[in-house]
Structure 1
């Protein structure tokens, strides 16, 4: 007698066995999507992030040891990459309580960090910091890569410290890797030699270096005494990520010039414009934000608001911005008493002479404009020469009639994208430098030449006069771009390309070894 056939599974049971569709980078919007993609790629168990700055700094306070986390989308995205146990973040330990929070292997103890990954700290001496960071990174490479008129300073001792510190980071990567093929994400110009140093010991590693600042032309790079060594370090990457097509062109030209010395090196270079984490739908402007910002910064009710949010850095075009506002007040007496520029200028690298000079220049210009035009109850410029927390910055974006991003030269400048994301009311205007990477994406901003003082004054005037309908149209278009191209999509694109190209590179290496043995 035949037995009855097994019952067919219910529809719900069938759905449970269907595997989710494969994700592409363009499908990734948030941290959950990125986690799914990493699971799909199968690379989450041996991921290593390497950066100069740590995602968490510990300091001593009256209440004991406290953790401070830098604001910004980059840390958010990289932490999403390291969402599985087994990942590691390697960074310089610079907080005054950092040493008190680590174990014998310099990993931050679990009670001091709420994260699934390991945070490995490296300790640098004052001499190393002065040479590697202040000297080579910020007095040589930073001005070399930014067109601002500040001349780079080249010192052999700084280069020696840069090489030594990069070697220490690379050794930490090798020590933390749990396989012969880790996925290593190296961040920025501070660590340009790490890919080659890691490749020497882990030839199958997938190494992704992202260069966050502008990449110089080959002619400018040739003035750097160690250009060949720098490019050799970069060319050992599996993927070399840059901000814009223009940066990619500069890198490709530099790569061609040194190809004879170092071979073709890096398997892939591409433009991967970085972005921000799109805010949650519930993150909307609270009523009275304009009044709150006014009270906080001493700006009278009814005064229209221009906002700038920058580091006190000579690349940000702060002097030119103030001069443009001064010219606007000259031309438009009717604006006096009715418009204020709130400039947040966070202190930055204050030990270096170029940064001391820009701080003095901005202070002097602020005093000049206020002396010329200020009157009882109104100051044209309110300079907040301090850092501001993320909540304050977002409130300033939402209170602004106009946001000013007028960098002389910038890799991306995420302030522009943060402003767009903050304006859920579809109000306000963005004046954006053509020399910021964001200008390649945010076409509906008012694009300006940051060295054209008169042109910037006209753009600010136009922004103040812009109708609500035009504001809405422009912001809706820009929000569409930023909401799709998030920092998680940026990370996804780098990882997908890195894993694909790394697999091909490994296969080619295995085939070559087999041929040599034959």
Structure 2
């Protein structure tokens, strides 16, 4: 990802970063918005000229969400040379995930999870501890859900992984403490002897178990305040293989512009968060399948192999057409 120019330009070493990128023949970013953020930052600091703009590729939604862009810069000129820019959203490996989900051991784990939780709606939220991951906002929303809709108490479970971040960072310790306190507060208020509202895991879950959890979950809830892309969303979709399920996805994740059929939500708005989880819980099976099929097609068509092929293809094209620089590209 690349931040907006007014944020990026706070950095003391902003010129050094921009100059180093302008020395490249090809600069790649996850999505068109990050391309435009880089272009804006570069033009604010250096005499960079726009050479070419194009409509965004079909893989990206051009409007309707926070990070959408209808057009994207593809070529810049700086100090007599061309700098190509493009969007390369990293993909996942749907084929491998399908294999994992169909392993007998994973199928057995899926059965165990479903037997343990019965017919309850299962919501999964997976990620590491980070103050921008939206865990606090999600937990407060879940608490409001149980207060607003008491009929759901005992019938919905939130399974949350919040893997501890690197030791020694106070801001992450504070975020971890807030998550644990909120989970304890909600469980203490609403759980019963036979039902635990939230299950929290703070250590890494084995990949087999994580795939079983994705496959079993009725809803994946991914609410970051800011996230460059987010592969958990794509892994959840791949695990379901186009079958029923609902993805609730923050529109401030880069993957939101690839997955407009998710239930897109604004984690800065309590009202919007409440509406989004209601939509997910009440969505008819037919609509679930329609949305998941479209998202599965998207993550399958642009998987990790296509991502790599795209980058190498563009890099090779640039290598053929780019002349040698005529002078020092870094201003004195």
Give the TM-score of the pair, scaled to structure 2. Answer: 0.83
SS across alignment from 1:411: coil
Provide the rounded CA distance (Å) in 2 between the counterparts of 1:498 and 1:305.
43
Tell me if structure 2 keeps the 8 A contact 1:413–1:438.
yes
Query: Does 2:175 correspond to 1:358?
Result: yes
Tell me if structure 1 keeps the 8 A contact 2:251–2:264.
yes
Provide the rounded CA distance (Å) in 2 between the counterparts of 1:265 and 1:258.
17
SS across alignment from 2:158: strand
SS across alignment from 2:298: helix
Provide the rounded CA distance (Å) in 2 between the counterparts of 1:231 and 1:425.
41
- Specify the alignment match of 2:324 in structure 1: 509
Distance 1:425 1:258, change over 3 A: closer
SS across alignment from 1:509: coil
For residues 346-399 of structure 1, give each alpha carbon's deviation from its aligned partner in whole angstroms, at most 9, with x where no partner exists.
111231111111101101110111111111121111110111122111111101
- Specify the alignment match of 1:269 in structure 2: 85
- After superposition, where does 1:227-306 map in structure 2 within 5 Å? 227-260=14-47, 263=79, 267-280=83-96, 282-285=99-102, 287=107, 289-293=109-113, 300-306=117-123
- Which residue, out of 401, 420, 427, partners 2:218? 401
For residues 386-422 of structure 1, give each alpha carbon's deviation from its aligned partner in whole angstroms, at most 9, with x where no partner exists.
1112211111110101000111111110111100000
- Specify the alignment match of 2:2 in structure 1: 215
Distance 1:476 1:300, change over 3 A: closer
SS across alignment from 1:354: helix
Query: Does 2:179 correspond to 1:371?
Result: no
SS across alignment from 1:240: strand
SS across alignment from 1:267: strand
Distance 1:337 1:492, change over 3 A: same
- Specify the alignment match of 1:441 in structure 2: 258
In the alignment, structure 2 segments of 5+ residues that lack a partner are 49-77, 328-332
In the alignment, structure 1 segments of 5+ residues that lack a partner are 1-213, 514-518
- Specify the alignment match of 2:244 in structure 1: 427
For residues 445-485 of structure 1, give each alpha carbon's deviation from its aligned partner in whole angstroms, at most 9, with x where no partner exists.
10000122232222212212212111111111111111101
User: Between Structure 1 and Structure 2, how many residues are aligned?
Assistant: 294
Q: Which has the higher contact order (CA 8 A, sep 6+)?
A: 2
Give the TM-score of the pair, scaled to structure 1. Answer: 0.54
- Specify the alignment match of 1:52 in structure 2: none
Query: Does 2:270 correspond to 1:453?
Result: yes
- Which residue, out of 455, 479, 482, partners 2:296? 479
Provide the rounded CA distance (Å) in 2 between the counterparts of 1:265 and 1:217.
24
